[in-house]
Amino acid sequence: MIRDPVCQMTIDPRHAEAMTEFKGQAYYFCSEGCRQKFLVQPEIFLDKAPSMRLTVGVMGSASGEFAADIKVLAYTLGQDIADRGFILITGACPGLPYECARGTKSKGGLSMGTSPALSLDEHVHKYFSPADVFDVIIYTGSGLMGREVINIRSSDMVVIVGGSSGTLGEFAIAYDEGKIIGVLEGSGGITTQLPQLVTSFGKDTGAQVIYESDPHLLISKLAEAYTSHHYKRPSCFCEDSHVSMD
């Protein structure tokens, strides 16, 4: 349960009548009227109720050769996530997620890496992964595949950048669990195949997939979709959440 920062009513986030985000923080409201009052002068309500930062999980290619323009796309995506005030989540791996984390770091944003390793030593020497751009690294000891579910479930929004079979697995988890998913077009890899794959799934999990080639517009569209309606569809097996087990 949380509080409406305007009227102080206690509400269930899943059943809030309205929601918005301000500088990356999530605020929930009992009515659209309270939301509108907040939007007129949000600063006077910020200390009236606790809030949490929204998270964006970026999943993508960790290995291979990347064209300079694709690395710039990933880097810019990280900058846009930081500018919006969101927290970046990645698999703490090299490649395009690392470029994204570098972008977030360059803007003073917060990033969390979910490592497959047991420790920093194993992270660096066994998995040959970077540790220089993260504010927090969670050492799962779960291996490369085991941490995927943690990454997805910890992300309010998920973005796919390039990627191969591993990223496809992360996309599948996000789709099956009803996440809102952004696909950064022009980043190569599986992003070119996802529209056809989604069409072939033939089931409604509550997931929403947004395709966009501009990183700034992609983050804006994800935030708009999440705060306008998708927050009402939590990624959990709750009694009134529509989840297909096929």
The CATH number that applies at residue 221 is 3.40.50.450
How many angstroms separate the CA atoms of 48 and 4, rounded? 8
- The answer to whether residues 114 and 22 belong to one domain is no
Within this chain, do residues 124 and 203 fall inside the same structural domain, yes or no?
yes
Res 41 pLDDT > 90 = yes
CA 149 to the chain's CA centroid: 13
Beta strands in the chain (DSSP E): 2-3, 10-11, 18-22, 25-29, 52-53, 55-60, 87-90, 111-115, 136-139, 157-161, 180-184, 208-212
- What per-residue confidence (pLDDT) applies to 220? 97
Query: For the chain, what is the domain count?
Result: 2
Q: Does 188 lie in the same domain as 108? A: yes
Has residue 147 been placed in a domain?
Answer: yes
CA–CA separation, 49 and 27 (whole Å): 8
Give yes or no: residues 154 and 69 share one domain: yes
In this structure, is residue 237 part of a structural domain?
A: no
Say whether pLDDT at 164 is over 70: yes
Residue whose structure tokens are 């804006």: 220
Reported as a single tens digit per residue, the pLDDT across 55-83 is: 999 999 998 889 999 999 999 999 999 99
Same domain, 96 and 137: yes
In tens, the pLDDT along 18-37 reads: 999 999 999 999 999 999 99
Same domain, 47 and 59: no
Contact between 194 and 164 under an 8 Å Cβ cutoff? The reply is no
Residue 88's nearest CA partner among 182, 155, 38, 162 is 155
Residue 165's domain comprises 55-232
Q: What is the pLDDT of residues 73-123, one digit of tens each?
A: 999 999 999 999 999 999 999 999 999 999 999 999 999 999 999 999 999
